[in-house]
Amino acid sequence: MELPVVNDGVHLAAYRPRVPLSVNGKATPGGFDESRYYQCYGDGNSVASRGSDALTGYETLDAPPNYDFYANTEVWGRRRRFRPSLYQLHANPEDDSKPPMYEETTAGQVGGDSSEEDEDEDKEPPTEPTRFGWVQGVMIRCMLNIWGVILYLRLPWITAQAGIGLTWVIILLSSCITGITGLSTSAIATNGKVKGGGTYFLISRSLGPELGGSIGLIFAFANAVAVAMHTVGFAETVVDLMRENEAVMVDRTNDIRIIGVITVTCLLGISMAGMAWESKAQILFFLVIMVSFASYIVGTIIPSTPEKQSKGFFSYKASIFATNFVPGWRGKEGSFFGMFSIFFPSATGILAGANISGDLKAGSLFRFECVKNGTCPYGIINYYQSMSMVSAFAPLITAGIFGATLSSALACLVSAPKVFQCLCKDKLYPLIGFFGKGYGKNDEPLRGYLLTYIIAACFILIAELNTIAPIISNFFLCSYSLINFSCFHASITNSPGWRPSFRFYSKWLSLLGAVCCVVIMFLLTWWAALIAFGVVFFLLGYTLYKRPAVNWGSSVQASSYNMALNQCVGLNTVEDHVKNYRPQCLVLTGPPSSRPALVDLINCFTKGLSLMLCANVVTDSPSLTAVQKATSDSHVAWLNKRKIKSFYRGVVASDVRSGVNMLLQGAGLGRIKPNVLMMGFKKDWRSDTPQAAHNYIGMLHDAFDLQYGVCVLRVREGLDVTRPSQSHVNPVFDEGPENINNTSSSSSVSIDPEPQPNTVFQTKQGKKTIDVYWLSDDGGLTLLLPYLLTRRKRWGRCKVRVFVGGEADKKEQQKEEVLALIKKFRLGFHDVEVLPDIYQNPQPMNVHQFDSMVGRFRQDTIPKQDADSGPSRQQEEPWMITEQDLEKNKAKSLRQIRLNEVLQDYSREAALIVITMPVGRRGVCPSMLYLAWLDFLSRDLRPPVLLVRGNQENVLTFYCQ
């Protein structure tokens, strides 16, 4: 084909794309006529609507890259752009049909005119929620959580217990864990746009809903308990001040409870006022803490007064430093990991900013030594308010404690509902959606605030900071472990979607951090660690069982793909062996919902054992509509709802037979590919077109040619349950409504989720029989399939009876021979009956009925003068039956008639009849005669009939190798 000449008055610049590249939703400047853009791309109108701008060989609908093509949200004030669909790019420009759009707006409107009401609503821009930058939203919030109650009220006491050296180790170990977790968090957070939900959002979108949901609940609960910890720290300070001024309400413990509950109630009011008020309060607390730090540092430098010395403070002294460098354990908490469990919650502030992700714009050299050892109430081992005594101005330290405890409590009171709200909106667990409702422009979870308040108030009643802190440590360590594991797991899957912009992380360092967190959990409190992991695994099991309808592209999905791919490739090196034979079934169901009985029976053979592939052939010319009909996700959704473990494959072909041939040769992956073709019996073969019936038999011949085993199922009431709303029917697979003579329809498949039709193969069969007529040796498939059925619970009580042909005078001998053979196969079948009467002639009445069945397809004897035209007529109508065909196949015809009489006599009450299917020789047995055999053999039987023919290769063996 010659290329067009460019220099004949054609200027390529005139055909450059008119759509500008945009970044972050903002178009680059330039002369861009947006109305023309939407005329072409936005509303789905035809290309021909461009009027005088008719498309030429040079101009296309290709659009340059644009932010809108990949975004999930819209920008107020302008309509969202769409990339042209593949249909628009290669369809005939003269086609005036509206092509389907590639993407849709989140509001559900693709284009076109909107109503006046919508236009009125869009006149005012939506109210923007309050957003915080990295300083106010992250840095200040994290620093306030780190400079919390532990730093002011417990770090001096920890130093007294562990000594300066081990205190440094505790701080260093905590910093390493949080540092590694911070790197992992940064990697996960920069691998895509992070919405609200903080830690839960990061883990759930990385590892999936199973682990993400469980850790979300635990992390939200840990933050709620942290509110109690910081509030108790505040209450402790207030009670100590009251005691120094001889003001006591009840006693120390109850005073802490009363003040704590009052305080958390006030904090609830601030948080429910909105994020803006909470953020302003945090800034105030931050300034107070900074001033208190300055006062403390100045206090350590100035010489200590005699009063301070009497209380144990001697400023900086090398001798005291050396003496106090080693531990001095006291009390039940006196151990390294006991001190670590109390200190570690102060290191969890690194996630304070991440927890409100939906609201973001994107030690010392001295030690106290009390003069009166043993009886002195002061000193850092006895006095929790030691920092106030050291500072230059004690009230500033008290103000710092108030600021640190209240700010941390307030941050946790906000974080817990935000995390829990995201979990509620994902609908992973029942009965929690009530707390996910948001209010106001910031979508504030007011119900979540109340729930957090109740949990915090309950733990405040413990009134003991040293008891609450270790509980939090285990939950936070569990969260940190999963964050690090998420980063590691996402890295090792090598998924193309793992592309974090933050590069300063190591997958092996993340794994080390995850392992360290788990080890430390058990070293802190082994029973608390078991409880934490017990909760995680319980929620994990629940999520795996319920399988929520979410798809977040998690690393678990990527890992599953990797493992499946590696296993499939690994099978290439494993040769087939008869001991490992499995019936891998290609099931010609059409839309699976239209033939549930066929699906249910084959599922009994393959569930948890081998491959099942439901196949659908849409007979149409290749088009977007036909492809969508063939590959619709609704078919898989129906299978999943019915709990059928099956794949689905749809193809588009010019006719059913060629489509089935495509599936026979192309379905499967490596050695995981079908070896048995399952289909329904075509009961309407006499009323349908002869060509359709001929194609049906042609599919059987194609399967035999490709070395497939073949099974045909016939049930008395028919397989097809297609309703008018479910339009696609393949009558070649089974009979359909009389008015349907084609194999496709103009509308897409409509599958109602309820009700699911019940079939005979879903019910328990009780103490019935499965009658197996093993009349010809096909390799053993006729025996293997009933055996697989009996392994299912609903068929387990059925007795298998095996019928074989034989001679009357050798009946017992032949029975023993068959029993011995079946015993070698270890199938557990013990009831064998020899049928010598199958070789008798059938009743004349039945022979007459068979002749009537094939009568309309019999070809008249060709006159001598028309002998020359005979071969051409035979080629035009290969399904027709000649007298020669009837004579050649007379014995087989009579046998099928007789077998039906035997089935009526012996198996009228069976649960299922399995019989070896006769084979019609190609070119000798016309398709209509072969169909008549199958029809007469299985007609007028109450039980379902499964005609089975293996590919003549062994599927059973009695050897051990």
Q: Which region among 20-34, 399-413, 507-521, 681-695 has the lowest average model confidence (pLDDT)?
A: 20-34
For range 82-86, the mean pLDDT:
68
Say if residue 737's pLDDT is above 60: no
| Residue range 66-78, pLDDT digits in tens | 766 666 666 666 6
Q: Which pLDDT belongs to residue 230?
A: 84
Quote the pTM value: 0.67
| Residue range 910-922, pLDDT digits in tens | 999 999 999 988 8
Say if residue 750's pLDDT is above 50: no
Q: Which pLDDT belongs to residue 93?
A: 56
Q: Which pLDDT belongs to residue 163?
A: 85
Long-range Cβ pairs for the range 297-301 (8 Å, 24+): 298/391, 298/392, 299/390, 299/391, 299/392, 299/393, 300/364, 300/366, 300/390
Using DSSP's 3-state secondary structure scheme, residue 444 falls into strand
The pLDDT > 90 percentage for the chain reads 25
| Residue range 216-259, pLDDT digits in tens | 888 888 889 989 988 998 898 889 888 888 888 888 899 999 99
For residues 697 and 704, give the distance between their C-alpha atoms in angstroms, rounded to a whole number: 11
Cα dist. 328→117, 302, 435, 474 in Å? 75, 27, 47, 25
CB contact at 8 A, 912 and 792: no
Say if residue 356's pLDDT is above 70: no
For residues 452 and 221, give the distance between their C-alpha atoms in angstroms, rounded to a whole number: 8
Highest averaged pLDDT of the listed ranges 224-233, 262-271, 651-660, 729-738? 651-660
Q: Which pLDDT belongs to residue 126?
A: 56
Looking at per-residue confidence, does 153 or 564 come out higher? Answer: 564
Say if residue 522's pLDDT is above 50: yes
Which two tokens mark 820? 């011995």
Q: What angle do CA 421, 427, 431 make, to 5 degrees?
A: 85
Q: Convert 832-851 into a string of H (helix), E (strand) and C (coil).
A: EEEEHHHHCCCCHHHHHHHH
pLDDT band per the 50, 70, 90 thresholds, residue 714: very high
Q: Convert 851-880 into a string of H (helix), E (strand) and C (coil).
A: HHHHHCCECCCCCHHHHHHHHHHHHHCCCC
In the block, residue with structure tokens 């309820």: 754
Q: Convert 570-627 into a string of H (helix), E (strand) and C (coil).
A: HHHHCCCCHHHCCCCEEEECCCHHHCHHHHHHHHHHHCCCCCEEEEEEEECCCCHHHH
| Residue range 812-835, pLDDT digits in tens | 999 999 999 999 998 989 999 999
Which two tokens mark 16? 């450059």
Q: Which pLDDT belongs to residue 379?
A: 54
For range 468-477, the mean pLDDT:
82
Q: Which pLDDT belongs to residue 349?
A: 57
- The DSSP-derived string for 524-551 is H-HHHHHHHHHHHHHHHHHHHHH--S--
Complete edge-to-edge strand list for the sheet that includes strand 912-916: 647-653, 612-619, 585-588, 676-680, 709-714, 945-949, 912-916, 769-773, 799-805, 831-835
For range 419-425, the mean pLDDT:
86
What is the distance in angstroms between the CA of the first residue and the CA of the last residue of the chain?
Answer: 61
Q: Which pLDDT belongs to residue 772?
A: 95
| Residue range 250-262, pLDDT digits in tens | 888 999 999 999 9
From the number of C-beta atoms within 10 Å of its C-beta (0-12, 13-18, 19+), residue 213 rates as: buried
Domains and CATH numbers, the chain: 140-193+201-327+385-546 (1.20.1740.10), 581-714 (3.40.50.620), 765-855+879-949 (3.40.50)
For residues 782 and 790, give the distance between their C-alpha atoms in angstroms, rounded to a whole number: 14
From the number of C-beta atoms within 10 Å of its C-beta (0-12, 13-18, 19+), residue 780 rates as: buried
From the number of C-beta atoms within 10 Å of its C-beta (0-12, 13-18, 19+), residue 634 rates as: middle
For range 835-846, the mean pLDDT:
90
| Residue 526 neighbours by CB under 8 Å, 6+ apart | none
In the block, residue with structure tokens 């099978």: 571
CB contact at 8 A, 184 and 165: no
| Residue range 571-598, pLDDT digits in tens | 888 888 888 899 999 999 999 989 999 9
Looking at per-residue confidence, does 786 or 525 come out higher? Answer: 786
Looking at per-residue confidence, does 147 or 30 come out higher? Answer: 147
| Residue range 857-902, pLDDT digits in tens | 888 654 444 445 445 545 677 888 988 889 999 999 999 999 999 9
| Residue range 44-68, pLDDT digits in tens | 333 333 333 444 444 455 667 776 6
Q: Which pLDDT belongs to residue 586?
A: 96
Say which DSSP state 365 is in.
Answer: S
In the block, residue with structure tokens 């494993």: 574
The pLDDT > 70 percentage for the chain reads 74
Q: Is the bond preceding 755 in cis, omega lying within 30 degrees of 0? A: yes
Say if residue 451's pLDDT is above 90: yes
For residues 274 and 441, give the distance between their C-alpha atoms in angstroms, rounded to a whole number: 10
Looking at per-residue confidence, does 123 or 221 come out higher? Answer: 221
CB contact at 8 A, 237 and 153: yes
Q: Which pLDDT belongs to residue 383?
A: 55
As a residue count, the chain comes to 961
Q: Which pLDDT belongs to residue 198?
A: 67
For the four alpha carbons of 416, 422, 425 and 427, in that order, the dihedral sign comes to: negative
For residues 178 and 199, give the distance between their C-alpha atoms in angstroms, rounded to a whole number: 13
Beta bridge partners of 360: 132
- Ramachandran angles phi, psi of 709, nearest 5°: -80, 155
Q: Which pLDDT belongs to residue 137?
A: 56
Distance, CA of 586 to chain centre? 25
Which two tokens mark 247? 């003001």
In the block, residue with structure tokens 């994290």: 142
In our burial notation (b when 16+ CB lie closer than 10 A, e otherwise), range 794-833 reads: ebeebebbbbbbbeeeeeeebbeebeebbeeeebebeebe
Q: Which pLDDT belongs to residue 72?
A: 63
For range 764-779, the mean pLDDT:
91
Say if residue 842's pLDDT is above 70: yes
Count Cα neighbours of 370 within 13 Å in the Cβ-side half-sphere: 14
CB contact at 8 A, 510 and 184: yes
Say if residue 94's pLDDT is above 70: no
Q: Which pLDDT belongs to residue 141?
A: 65
Say if residue 947's pLDDT is above 90: yes
pLDDT band per the 50, 70, 90 thresholds, residue 120: very low
Q: Which pLDDT belongs to residue 362?
A: 41
Q: Among residues 884, 918, 897, which one has the least CA distance to residue 849?
A: 897
